[in-house]
Structure 1
Amino acid sequence: MNIHFIAIGGSAMHNLAIALYQKGYQVSGSDDTIHDPSKSRLEKYGLLPKEFGWFPEKITNELDVIILGMHAKKDNLELLKAQELGLKIYSYPEFLYEQSKNKTRVVIGGSHGKTTITSMILHVLNYHERQVDYMVGAQLEGFETMVHLTEENDFIVLEGDEYLSSPIDMRPKFHLYKPNIALLSGIAWDHINVFPTFENYKDQFQIFTDSMVNGGSMVYNIEDDNVKDVVESSENHIKKYPYETPKHFIENGITFLETEEGDLPLEIFGNHNLQNLAGAKWICQHMGVDEDDFYEAIASFKGASKRLEKIAENNSSVIFKDFAHSPSKVAATTKAVKEQYSNRTVLACLELHTYSSLNAEFLSEYKGALDAADKAVVFYSPNAVKIKQLEEVTSAQIANAFEREDLVIYTNPSAFKEFLFNQNLEKTAVVLMSSGNYGGLDFDEVKNLI
């Protein structure tokens, strides 16, 4: 099959391109800009476009399939040519479904935790040398790519994102997978540029639940009222398996899980991660991994990339990097760090970077999100607000939204870096939360702070 990617440089797109190349397909692609790690990884497989830009002459009748990424626009020259020629155009999730129609599809959905849960499942299966196809939203230790596709594997594990499929397909990605086995971890309003009300956002999870195949199995977090409502009100003919935070305790900075076989020390921590673990256990059991084998494998799980990722530690200090940016994730991450390091000062730094977080109307959702931290800092770039064509937000609006009088706010990357590098981090746990990089912060430099 001859496949061309429009916007091949995206995190998910380039991984799919590599996976299809490894499967033996002819793969080409275009993009107007590609950054590392996508750039070097595409180059390694000979898939990096020779020059950046859009070239309609690349689109010919010799192509079997076009895969269209979200980075492209509706008026993209290559897309218009493909439409003119009547070529088959797939969104990323559409094509994944086509590749998995004859497999058992396991889809992990939720506003938060889906990358971690998917990573836990893949870690356990990999530990026990069970081969599955997969797509996950983070680079995992022991896995070369974030996408793996074969003809022979019976299962495919998919991280189910609720964001839109492509510029010409406005359906959420996870509506297209039609799962046999699914999980919902939590529902907390996000992507407000696409889902303007919480009710509209929540509806997407109802549609996802109702899209499951007849007789499918839904694993769901019963401690999340919105998830509970969506799943338990569904009239779809599915089996429902609730999960909750398992019993555990913290001793000397280590979280222990209480199991029938004894207390199990974990590499991860925080109630949200323990909920994730409980959900992953149910899914693994549905895939044929028994409880004892799950516990044996999960003990060595260190977390997904940028999800409470420990980047530096000594006897008295620790620094974490975390992808948290939505209010619920920020609150869960900050609370988890404080509970794990209750005898240390917790310094929580949050970059407001996404469309939702920089929206003045959405800011109030952050009320109390940093309350668990001893010191709290918010950084945002006025330039990022301009790029996203939003109304300017002020430091006063941010201070009012978080309702924390001692909140420190920075808009200048150099000033934020100076603040961070001048902190005395003795007996301190630092958590840097962002889907960006604080205006150019070098995390390798940060590692040297302790």
Structure 2
Amino acid sequence: MKIHFIAIGGSAMHNLALALEHKGYSITGSDDVIFEPSKSRLEKKGLLPAAFGWFPEKIHAGLDAIVLGMHAKADNPELLKAQELGLTIYSYPEFLYEQSKNKTRVVIGGSHGKTTITSMILHVLDFHDREVDYMVGAQLEGFDRMVHLTDDNDFIVLEGDEYLSSPIDRRPKFHLYKPNIALLSGIAWDHINVFPTFENYVEQFRIFVDSIVSGGSITYNLEDAEVVKVVETSENTIRKLGYETPDYEVENGQTLLTTPEGPMPIEVFGEHNLSNLAGAKWICQNMGVDEDDFYEAIATFKGASKRLEKIAEGKTSVAYKDFAHSPSKVAATTKAVKEQYPNRRFIACLELHTYSSFNPEFLKEYKGALNAADEAVIFYLPESVAIKKLDAVTPDQIAEAFQKKDLKVFTDAASFHAYVNKADYKHATLLLMSSGNYGGLDLKSIQSLME
């Protein structure tokens, strides 16, 4: 098949392109800008466009399909040419469904935890040499790509994102997968530029649960009231399987999971990760992995990329970075780190970077999110707010929203970097949280600060 990607450089899109190239398809693509690591990965496989930009002449009747990325606009000249020629145009999730409609589709949904749960499942299956197709939102240790597609595997495991499918398809991605086996980890308002009210956001998860194939199953978090309400009021004819955070304890910075065979040391930590683990266990069991085999494999799981990733460690100090940016994720991550190192001074730094985090109404959702930290720091760039064409956000607004005593707020990169580089890390834990790059902070230099 000959497939052309409009906006091939995106994190998800370039991984799909690589997966299809690996499968033997003929792939072309365009984009107006491509950053690392997408650029190098596409170049290595000969898929990097010769020039950046949009070229309608690349679109012709000999193409079997177009895959349209979210980064493109509805008036993209290549898209207009494809529409004019009557070519088959897929959004990213539509194409994944097309590739998996004859497989058992396992879809992991939720406002938080879905990347980690999907990663845990794939780690367990890989540990036991069980071949499956997959799509996950983070690079995993031991996996070449974030997307893998075959004609032979019976299962496909999909991370079910609730963001929009494409510029011309405003449905959330996870509405299009039609799962046989599904999981719902939690519901906490996000993506307010698309879902302006909490009720509108919750409705997307109702549609997801109702999209599960009749006779399928939903594994769901019993500790999340919104999840329970959405699942238990659904009239879809599916099995409903609840899970809860398993028992565990922390001893000298080591998390021990309670199992039928006794306490088992694991690499990940924090109540939210233990909850994720419980969900992953039930999904793996639904896929034919018995409990003992799950525990054997999960003991070696070190976490998904950018999720509580250890970046430096000294004799009395340690530093982590995390992708957390929404209120629920920030609260869960800070709580987890404090629980793991209760006797160390805890410095938590959060970069506000997303559209939602600069909205005055949404800012209120952050109340108490950094309460577990001994020192709490907010960094944001006013120019980031301006780029998003939002009203200016003041440090006072942020302080009022977080309701954290002695909160430090930095609005320029140099001051924030100076704070991080001059802090006292003796008997301390540093946590950096952002979906951005902390104003260009050199993370490699953090190791030299640890004592």
Aligned to 1:332: 332
What are the equivalent positions in structure 2 for 1:145-294 lying under 5 Å apart?
Answer: 145-294=145-294
CA distance in 1 between partners of 2:174 and 2:45 (Å): 29
What are the equivalent positions in structure 2 for 1:433-448 lying under 5 Å apart?
Answer: 433-448=433-448
| 1:130-154 deviations in Å (ceiling 9; x for gaps) | 0000000000000000000000000
CA distance in 2 between partners of 1:448 and 1:132 (Å): 41
| 1:39-81 deviations in Å (ceiling 9; x for gaps) | 0000010000001000011111111100000000011111111
- Asked if 1:131 corresponds to 2:131, the answer is yes
Aligned to 1:7: 7
CA distance in 2 between partners of 1:441 and 1:175 (Å): 37
Letter in 1 for 2:15: N
Q: CA deviation at 1:441?
A: 1.3
Q: Which shows bigger deviation, 295-304 or 440-449?
A: 440-449
Letter in 2 for 1:428: A
Secondary structure in structure 1 of the residue aligned to 2:357? coil
Structure 2: runs of 5+ lacking an equivalent: none
| 1:216-242 deviations in Å (ceiling 9; x for gaps) | 010000000000000011000000110
| 1:225-273 deviations in Å (ceiling 9; x for gaps) | 0000000110000001100010111101101011111110010000000
Aligned to 2:400: 400
Q: CA deviation at 1:444?
A: 1.6
CA distance in 2 between partners of 1:219 and 1:313 (Å): 37
Q: CA deviation at 1:447?
A: 3.0
CA distance in 1 between partners of 2:446 and 2:98 (Å): 43
Secondary structure in structure 1 of the residue aligned to 2:218? strand
Secondary structure in structure 2 of the residue aligned to 1:312? strand
| 1:161-217 deviations in Å (ceiling 9; x for gaps) | 000000000000000000000000000000000000000000000000000000101
Secondary structure in structure 1 of the residue aligned to 2:105? strand
Letter in 1 for 2:95: F
Letter in 2 for 1:426: K
Letter in 2 for 1:270: G
Q: CA deviation at 1:379?
A: 0.4
Q: CA deviation at 1:360?
A: 1.6
Secondary structure in structure 2 of the residue aligned to 1:405? coil
Aligned to 1:54: 54
Letter in 1 for 2:284: C
Aligned to 1:415: 415
CA distance in 1 between partners of 2:285 and 2:310 (Å): 29
Aligned to 2:386: 386
Aligned to 1:70: 70
Letter in 2 for 1:32: D
Letter in 1 for 2:4: H
Secondary structure in structure 1 of the residue aligned to 2:376? strand
What are the equivalent positions in structure 2 for 1:316-395 lying under 5 Å apart?
Answer: 316-395=316-395
Give the CA RMSD over aligned residues.
0.6
Secondary structure in structure 2 of the residue aligned to 1:177? coil
CA distance in 2 between partners of 1:442 and 1:105 (Å): 40
* Identity percentage of aligned residues: 73
| 1:276-321 deviations in Å (ceiling 9; x for gaps) | 0000000000000000000000000000001001111122111001
CA distance in 2 between partners of 1:366 and 1:137 (Å): 24
TM-score scaled by length of structure 2: 0.99
Secondary structure in structure 2 of the residue aligned to 1:397? helix
CA distance in 1 between partners of 2:63 and 2:3 (Å): 6
Secondary structure in structure 1 of the residue aligned to 2:242? strand
CA distance in 2 between partners of 1:415 and 1:193 (Å): 30
CA distance in 2 between partners of 1:135 and 1:341 (Å): 33
TM-score scaled by length of structure 1: 0.99
CA distance in 2 between partners of 1:440 and 1:315 (Å): 27
CA distance in 1 between partners of 2:291 and 2:315 (Å): 34
CA distance in 2 between partners of 1:48 and 1:389 (Å): 32
| 1:385-404 deviations in Å (ceiling 9; x for gaps) | 11111111111100100011
CA distance in 1 between partners of 2:314 and 2:402 (Å): 31
| 1:93-137 deviations in Å (ceiling 9; x for gaps) | 000000000000000000000000000000000000100000000
CA distance in 1 between partners of 2:364 and 2:218 (Å): 32
Aligned to 2:315: 315
Letter in 1 for 2:100: S
CA distance in 2 between partners of 1:418 and 1:200 (Å): 42
Aligned to 1:80: 80
Q: CA deviation at 1:424?
A: 1.0
Letter in 2 for 1:353: H
Secondary structure in structure 1 of the residue aligned to 2:446? helix
Structure 1: runs of 5+ lacking an equivalent: none
CA distance in 2 between partners of 1:91 and 1:448 (Å): 45
Secondary structure in structure 1 of the residue aligned to 2:356? coil
Secondary structure in structure 1 of the residue aligned to 2:179? coil
CA distance in 2 between partners of 1:59 and 1:420 (Å): 49
CA distance in 2 between partners of 1:164 and 1:441 (Å): 31
Q: CA deviation at 1:449?
A: 2.0
Provide the aligned length of Structure 1 versus Structure 2: 450
Q: CA deviation at 1:330?
A: 0.3
| 1:20-57 deviations in Å (ceiling 9; x for gaps) | 00000000000000000000000010000001000011
CA distance in 1 between partners of 2:442 and 2:110 (Å): 31
Secondary structure in structure 1 of the residue aligned to 2:51? coil
CA distance in 2 between partners of 1:46 and 1:281 (Å): 39
Q: CA deviation at 1:439?
A: 1.3
